[in-house]
Amino acid sequence: MFLFRRGPARVTPADAHLRTRGEDAVLLDVREPAEWAAGHAPGAVHAPLSALQAGAALPPAAQGRPLIVICRSGHRSQRAAKLLTGRGAAAVDVQGGMNAWAAAGLPVVVGHGNSGSIA
């Protein structure tokens, strides 16, 4: 049994929402394009984990800023936060991902601002 957790910290959806509204932190959504298109958090920046793993740079809006990483369930965001932390970024991930975000009653939108869903 491990007594100490290795890797980046985790935050709740409510904490992520507060930290990306009032601070300089960016909510970085690492889901794939079809998932993003179905619905995402307002103001989130999209950078698929597959692209990050292939060496892609962060989108300009996320560069040099604290990152709060989110996916659908929290598994990919953990991997992405670890990858980004290894690159020198300040990154944490959201426990439960977008599923937990939506369950907490936080907004989910599509590109044109209408209500979205979690794919």
Catalytic residues: 71
Residue tagged 């009032």 (tokens): 22
Residues in the chain: 119
Backbone angles phi, psi at 45, to 5 degrees: -110, 135
Query: What angle is formed at CA 76 by the lines to CA 73 and CA 81, rounded to 5 degrees?
Result: 115
